[in-house]
Chains A and B, each alone.
Chain A
Amino acid sequence: NAGVMQNPRHLVRRRGQEARLRCSPMKGHSHVYWYRQLPEEGLKFMVYLQKENIIDESGMPKERFSAEFPKEGPSILRIQQVVRGDSAAYFCASSLDPSNQPQHFGDGTRLSIL
């Protein structure tokens, strides 16, 4: 029973490039979340999606960041024109029923901006 799968595990980009982070939720889970974590800090919510819909994007920066969860395929977090401050670990979580089931996390993508 595979868990939440994220790729790549490590991603290096130069300033101004685009970063694409992928997340495949656990089988049967239609609720997907993205969080960002800086060193020595807790995770910060970014966006909550269900299939083909963005439910809550209150934690997403207004510019350069976007997320999708298409009907087929993984969820994608896209960061355009990356800057040094985007360096962080990005975690994806999925849930079967967020009202009474825990979110299960992948092992994250570590994004480094040169």
Chain B
Amino acid sequence: GESVGLHLPTLSVQEGDNSIINCAYSNSASDYFIWYKQESGKGPQFIIDIRSNMDKRQGQRVTVLLNKTVKHLSLQIAATQPGDSAVYFCAENIGGAQKLVFGQGTRLTINP
């Protein structure tokens, strides 16, 4: 399943399936992008990052894709597990600004 992550929509997936969370960023000058996971009552937890000179980066069970042409970022989570339930935020660092601009987030829920 897919979801656009700017209005806190909810994405529900079956345990074991792959999840894809999308994000449209706003500023063509952004040069560094980060995905964070936020569980209830906690702060954002770093998942994976990507610089603007790359279009793909892989981590453990996660992959981030960057399409600068359409200013789109996605997070793919392989073999989704119950512990992946959280709100996921993309954040962009506008070149030189040294501050993060966050999207609204996407709530990921896992069905057993």
A8 within 8 A of B: no
Measured in the bound complex, the distance between the Cα atoms of B34 and A40 in whole Å is: 19
- B59 interface contact, C-beta 8 A: no
Q: Are B98 and A42 in contact (CB under 8 A)?
A: no
A35→B51 CA distance, assembly (Å): 22
Query: Are B44 and A48 neighbours in the complex by a CB distance under 8 Å?
Result: no
Q: Which of A44, A58, A99, A107 contacts B43 (CB 8 A)?
A: A107
Specify the chain B residue showing the minimal Cβ separation from A41.
Answer: B104
Q: Are B102 and A43 in contact (CB under 8 A)?
A: yes
A42 touches B103 (CB 8 A): yes
Chain A residues within an 8 Å CB radius of B36: 105
User: How many inter-chain contacts with C-beta < 8 Å in the A-B complex?
Assistant: 60
Contact A43/B41 with A100-B32, A102-B49, A104-B46 known, Cβ cut-off 8 Å:
no
**Chain A residues with CB under 8 A of B101:** 45
- Interfacial residues of chain B within 35-58, with CB under 8 A of chain A in the complex: 36, 41-46, 49, 51
Contacts of A6 in B (CB 8 A): 43
Interface size on A, residues (CB 8 A): 28
On whether the beta carbons of B99 and A45 are closer than 8 Å, the reply is: yes
Render B71-106 as a binary contact track against A, CB cut-off 8 A, 1 for contact.
000000000000000000101010001111111110
Q: Report how far A108 CA is from B36 CA in the complex, Å.
A: 15
Q: Which residue of A lies closest to B102 (CB)?
A: A42
Q: Is A55 interfacial (CB-CB < 8 Å)?
A: yes
* Least CB distance, A23 to chain B, in whole angstroms: 11
Q: Is the CB of A43 within 8 A of B98?
A: no
Interface set, chain B 11-53, CB cutoff 8 A to A: 32, 34, 36, 41-46, 49, 51
| Chain B residues near A (Cβ < 8 Å) | 8, 32, 34, 36, 41-46, 49, 51, 89, 91, 93, 97-105
Q: What are 10 A-B contacts defined by CB distance under 8 Å?
A: A6-B43, A41-B104, A42-B89, A42-B105, A43-B102, A45-B100, A56-B97, A91-B43, A103-B34, A106-B43
